[in-house]
């Protein structure tokens, strides 16, 4: 299964869940700042694989959160890539 097929399968299985980042549904473990994960995270590890300096897994809940806001242009680019790649669109950015 390639990534596109995976993303489609996840969306079909998770249809009732919100498919856009929802600032009202943020993971409470996110640090303050513009990037956040909402509670629709499915623990796929894509965000952490792309931007490990920004996203960390909560082992108790089985989902990821923003543990450090990206600062450098490289970190921001990685956070944006993770946001664009998230199959649940659970990563948001507030301006």
Q: What is the predicted pLDDT for the residue at 95?
A: 81
- Amino acid 17: pLDDT: 54
CB 52 within 8 A of CB 64: no
pLDDT of residue 53: 97
pLDDT at 1: 65
Cross-strand pairs, 58: 63
DSSP string, 1-18: --HHHHHHHHHHHTTTS-
Q: What is the pLDDT along the chain (95 residues), one digit of tens a residue?
A: 666 556 545 544 544 555 689 999 999 999 999 999 999 999 999 999 999 999 999 999 999 999 999 999 999 999 999 999 999 999 999 98
């Amino acid at each position: 299964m390639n990534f596109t097929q995976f993303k489609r399968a996840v969306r079909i299985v998770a249809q009732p869940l919100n498919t856009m980042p929802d600032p009202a549904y943020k993971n409470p473990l996110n640090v303050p700042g513009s990037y956040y994960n909402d509670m629709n995270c499915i623990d796929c590890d894509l965000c952490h694989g792309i931007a490990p300096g920004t996203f960390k897994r909560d082992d108790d809940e089985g989902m990821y959160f923003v543990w450090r806001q990206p600062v450098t242009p490289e970190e921001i680019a990685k956070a944006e890539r993770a946001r664009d790649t998230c199959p649940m669109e659970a990563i948001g950015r507030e301006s």
